Structure 1
Amino acid sequence: MIVAVSGMDSLGERAAKMREALQKSQTITDNVVTILGSFDSRLSVLETAMRPTQIRTHAIRKAHENIDKTLKAAEVILTQFDASRQAEAKILKGPHEDLESYLEAINQLRSNIRFFSGNKGFKSSDAVINNANTLLAKAISKLEDEFKQLLALYSKPVETDRLFECLPESMRPSSESPGNPFGGKNNHHEHQNGTSETGGFKHLTLIPPRILPLLHDLALQMVQAGNQQQLLRIYRDTRSSVLEESLRKLGVEKLSKEDVQRMQWEVLEAKIGNWIHFMRIAVKILFVGERRVCDQIFEGFDTLLDQCFAECTTSSVSMLLSFGDAIARSKRSPEKLFVLLDMYEIMRELHSEVEGVFGGKACNEIRESMFGLTKRLAQTAQETFGDFEEAVEKDATKTAVLDGTVHPLTSYVINYVKFLFDYQTTLKQLFQEFESSGETNSQLANVTMRIMQALQTNLDGKSKQYRDPALTHLFLMNNIHYMVRSVRRSEAKDLLGDDWVQRHRRVVQQHANQYKRTGWSKILQCLSTQGLTSSGGGGSAVPGEGGSGSGASRGLIKDRFKTFNVQFEELHQKQSQWTVPDTELRESLRLAVAEVLLPAYRSFIKRFGPLVESGKNPQKYIRYTAEDLERMLGEFFEGKTLNEPRR
């Protein structure tokens, strides 16, 4: 019990102590709160006191930042001013001494103008910009002069030898005739071969490669300054005259249709041959070289590039085409056909180069003028075909062929046709200009057949001039045989076909048979028995065949021999003057006559010769043996005497 009381007292004491401690803690807390409250008011007072100082410090910091920005801006502006002064100094010196520095100075001026245009807040911006623009205008003006001087300095007419050196070896002219280097002829076969040597053409350097980048840089500055038209004018005026003078040195002339009409054919033919070579040199060497110059100077300015090239070559192209156009529009004649085909051929050959070199819209007119000439040459050539066919059919030349040989017209027409076949490829292209069917082989065959038919029609008319029908047939036989033989030995055979050849060989044989019939039927009648037999005894007679008792009168036999001798001698005299120029045909014709005449003569001699031989002077009547006749037949058709007063 005592222990329990003592425990309770201890617990009470502890509780009392805890209350006392809590009271002290509350007092401390209240004191701390009071103290903190006084700090808050003091801080508010302090903050109020510091605020002006903070504002002044921020203002000072801002001022420093503004000063830094201003100094930096001033530094940039001063740098621009300094660069402008340096650029001005270089520009005032001019571009001649140091073009690269001059171009850098212009670029610097443009940079300055852009800078001050974007900083209009600077009060002197407008004045600076105006000054820079004025200086830039002067700089560009000097640049134009420099471009003009530099271009002119390196723009010289090309010497002819340099142009020839760019040709493939096989196309280079001989040095034997400097005034007419190509000899005035256009060898068609060389031409055909030459077209495959396009890769053999060498590049022509018109302006040194080291100068072209400088000209490009100058052109770039002028374009950026908006001076495209001045640039175009300078380039055109300088290069155009150089190209024209280069062509004149080569031998190109600007000729009109009237000039061409007044020329002798030999002179004109030579000029045409040279013109064909001039066209090839101009397009494949000179104009290609000029295009490369334009491409490098005006790189990046395609429209200006094409326009400059078109304007600097227009007059040269016109100068070249004037001659071709004059030929195409001049009076047509058969001898011009082949030169027309040569001219058409070169224009076709150059077609791809023209499209490549004269590409672009600005060159449309030049391309059209070139392709237009090609079309006109084709048209004129086709019309000349028609003229030739008509001229052959209506040829009324009075050239006498007294001996019945091949007429000059025949050899001319056949050579003409054979020569046409050297141009088969060209003719097919020509026909395609006007026909869409594509049957060019049949068109060429039709043209050839019409010409051959026109020739035959004319020969039929000429054959009627002969009074002797035998000579008429000999003449036609000779001429048609010449046609057939020429066709068989040429490419015309493949085009005209075996049917044409065989048909005309039969015509030759028909005329040979007709010659034999009309020329020898009369003399063969002298060797027939018809009219020799008689039933009465009016003089000496030889027994008839079969011992019939009837016989031939010696007088009639003598008359027959005399008549035969006279007629054969006349035939020999006359027909030994006639001509069969083809050896094989001549021999076959002699053989055909001999096969008819000699057996008949031998038979007549054998049957009626004894009657004459038994009388007086038999040699007066029987002048020839069969061997004599055969020998004399070997003298026929040799054309021994070409001038005979009467046929």
Structure 2
Amino acid sequence: MSINFQAEAKILRGPHEDLESYLEAVDQLRSIIRFFSSNKNLKSSIGVINQANTLLGKAIFKLEEEFRQLLTSYSKPVEPDRLTDCLPNPTKPISAALGHDDSNAALKSSPEHQHKSLENVRPPPDLIPPRIIPLLHKIAQQMIQAGHHQQLLNIYREARASAIEQTLRKLGVERLSKEDVQKMQWEVLEAKIGGWINFMRVVVKVLFAGEKKICDEIFEGNDTLRDQCFSEVTANSVSVLLSFGEAIAKSKRSPEKLFVLLDMYEIMRELQSELDTIFKSKYCGEMREAAAVLTKRLAQTARETFSDFEEAVEKDATKTAVLDGTVHPLTSYVINYVKFLFDYQSTLKLLFGEFGDGDVDAQLASITTRIMQALQTNLDGKSKLYKDPSLTQLFLMNNMHYIVRSVRRSEAKDLLGDDWVQINRRVVQQHANQYKRISWSKILQCLSIQGLQTGGSGSFGDGGSTSGVSRAMVKDRYKTFNMLFEELHQRQSQWTVPDSELRESLRLAVAEVLLPAYRSFIKRFGPLIEGGKNPQKYIRYSPEDLERMLAEFFEGKTWNEPRR
């Protein structure tokens, strides 16, 4: 029985100093028990079996403590950088910031940037040092043989769940309710959503995948315990992660949330196969189901938000007119919104596919057309807030030009079609013509010969007769012209045409009508004034002066700003 004494000595020393030798001693004890159990006719068999079983019980208890001590010592939270460095930078920026161009977007999606990102990717961190895994596996096997499944599960859950949850807290993951979300300022919420999308990617692809790997290795050979342990270790962390997505999906809908909802839906679809693989066991069924429900709910909320937007555009009740007739904030907001939609075409196809909605391109074209029509309807209403009908036309011209130009430069053109572009370019021209007619017809009448002659005939042509034209009537025309032009100059130099090409073409269109008429009037009737007293009182401007002053129109000047 010397082998029994050797085993006993090793057991009493404990596993900490020499685990391999300790495990050999445990195996020896089991061999002794098996031998004497099958040879109970031997005189000392009962006593030996009892002694060995008592010693084996102590050995397993010490192994349990060693398992706990090893697992607890090496189960530390992972620093956020070690997790995030394992994945390439996402090439698509979080795109909720409507109205702001992402100047880094092109850089982020460039091949050079992606190559650089991949170069900087580090291997996944070891959640437990590789040299410790085999020791834990061997101890686990002994405890399983001894029937200590529940003790193993409890120890493993306590140590590993705590490490994962602490890691999530370090990342900034927190459980938030719908009420918490509703109270947040949009900028704060937007940042949290961007963070959540990154957390989901790194936690699933690195942390949960790593946890699954060590769980598989430690409990290799015992599938049921392996699956139970992994499920219990990750259940609360999965719940915390998904709770934020649920809170967003259930919170009050608003147009600016559409793109973050699409981002969230996109990440859930991206991670779907990995979630299904990592959480494939029957014990993880609730987690798989929760992820699938969240994906569907995000899709549904995004779809409803999409529908809300068209109605919100048409019913936007902002009563504050842009005083200078420039592009309305609603116009730039809606156009940016539509542009962003085309960054999500692949996601929208998936989303519409969730509900079996048929031809995605046709749907997108229909929705885009309706949004544009809703915007035009709203702008027509806003244009009626202006008391000056000239400014009404300038406002509509500016906004329609912005819409058409933006569509022509974006993927929306392919969906809306060339006919839509051509029709609306004509609308822009119609508003420009209406502006000219309303603003300048009265002043052009001052330069007309009609009403000046009391007899005979006259014309604007060179050498035309001035017989029958009184100097007083010509003076009156000059005074009226000066007054009207100065009023127009003072008022319309404060108006804005933000597009330089459109601004220049509108000035040119006015100049092409005004300057020839003015030159002809001066040539025809100027001598009547120049021969009298104070001619500069009436002929206040040369054609060159008018041309210079026309160049100040639509610059958005303020009242106290000096003339150029």
TM-score normalized by the length of structure 2: 0.85
Q: Which residue of 1 aligns with 2:399?
A: 479
Within a 5 Å distance, the mapping from 1:190-339 to structure 2 comes to 200-339=121-260
Per-residue CA deviation, residues 87-133 of structure 1 (Å, 9 max, x unaligned), is: 45544444334333333333334344444444565577666555544
Q: Which residue of 1 aligns with 2:384?
A: 464
Q: Which residue of 1 aligns with 2:367?
A: 447
Aligned counterparts of 1:343 and 1:112: Cα–Cα separation in 2: 60
Contact 2:331–2:399 (CA under 8 A) maintained in structure 1: yes
Q: Check 1:187–1:134 CA distance in 2 against 1; reply closer, same or farther (3 A cut).
A: farther
User: Post-superposition shift, 1:508?
Assistant: 0.6
Contact 1:354–1:367 (CA under 8 A) maintained in structure 2: yes
SS for the counterpart of 1:294 is helix
Aligned counterparts of 1:370 and 1:274: Cα–Cα separation in 2: 18
User: Post-superposition shift, 1:458?
Assistant: 1.6
Which residue, out of 527, 545, 549, partners 1:628? Answer: 545
Contact 2:321–2:385 (CA under 8 A) maintained in structure 1: no
Q: Check 1:231–1:436 CA distance in 2 against 1; reply closer, same or farther (3 A cut).
A: farther
Contact 1:403–1:639 (CA under 8 A) maintained in structure 2: yes
Which amino acid in the other structure matches residue 393 of structure 2? H
- 1:568 equivalenced with 2:485 (yes/no): yes
Q: Which residue of 1 aligns with 2:99?
A: none
Contact 1:163–1:204 (CA under 8 A) maintained in structure 2: yes
Aligned counterparts of 1:320 and 1:167: Cα–Cα separation in 2: 19
Which amino acid in the other structure matches residue 331 of structure 1? K
Q: Check 1:191–1:116 CA distance in 2 against 1; reply closer, same or farther (3 A cut).
A: farther
| Higher RCO (Cα < 8 Å, 6 or more apart) | 2
Q: Check 1:189–1:378 CA distance in 2 against 1; reply closer, same or farther (3 A cut).
A: farther
- 1:497 equivalenced with 2:417 (yes/no): yes
Q: Check 1:598–1:186 CA distance in 2 against 1; reply closer, same or farther (3 A cut).
A: closer
Where does structure 1 lack aligned partners over 5 or more consecutive residues?
1-80, 173-184, 535-540
Q: Which residue of 1 aligns with 2:18?
A: 98
Which amino acid in the other structure matches residue 186 of structure 2? W
User: Post-superposition shift, 1:195?
Assistant: 8.9
Aligned counterparts of 2:104 and 2:128: Cα–Cα separation in 1: 33
Q: Which residue of 2 aligns with 1:601?
A: 518
- 1:414 equivalenced with 2:335 (yes/no): yes
Contact 2:325–2:391 (CA under 8 A) maintained in structure 1: yes
Q: Check 1:281–1:643 CA distance in 2 against 1; reply closer, same or farther (3 A cut).
A: farther
Where does structure 2 lack aligned partners over 5 or more consecutive residues?
92-101
Contact 2:390–2:439 (CA under 8 A) maintained in structure 1: yes
Q: Which residue of 1 aligns with 2:439?
A: 519
User: Post-superposition shift, 1:233?
Assistant: 1.6
Contact 1:201–1:284 (CA under 8 A) maintained in structure 2: no
Q: Check 1:89–1:550 CA distance in 2 against 1; reply closer, same or farther (3 A cut).
A: closer
Q: CA RMSD in A?
A: 3.5
Deviates more, 1:635-644 or 1:328-337: 635-644
The number of residues matched between the two structures is 544
TM-score normalized by the length of structure 1: 0.75
Q: Which residue of 2 aligns with 1:10?
A: none
Which amino acid in the other structure matches residue 242 of structure 2? L
User: Post-superposition shift, 1:337?
Assistant: 3.2
Q: Which residue of 1 aligns with 2:271?
A: 350
Which amino acid in the other structure matches residue 600 of structure 1? A
- 1:341 equivalenced with 2:262 (yes/no): yes
User: Post-superposition shift, 1:459?
Assistant: 1.2
Aligned counterparts of 1:549 and 1:211: Cα–Cα separation in 2: 112
User: Post-superposition shift, 1:473?
Assistant: 0.4
Which residue, out of 576, 582, 593, partners 2:499? Answer: 582
Q: Check 1:431–1:195 CA distance in 2 against 1; reply closer, same or farther (3 A cut).
A: farther
User: Post-superposition shift, 1:633?
Assistant: 2.1
Q: Check 1:188–1:635 CA distance in 2 against 1; reply closer, same or farther (3 A cut).
A: closer
SS for the counterpart of 2:256 is helix
- 1:398 equivalenced with 2:319 (yes/no): yes
Deviates more, 1:597-606 or 1:244-253: 597-606
Aligned counterparts of 1:192 and 1:548: Cα–Cα separation in 2: 72
Contact 2:33–2:52 (CA under 8 A) maintained in structure 1: yes
User: Post-superposition shift, 1:148?
Assistant: 1.7
Contact 2:466–2:524 (CA under 8 A) maintained in structure 1: no
Which amino acid in the other structure matches residue 515 of structure 1? Y
Q: Which residue of 2 aligns with 1:640?
A: 557
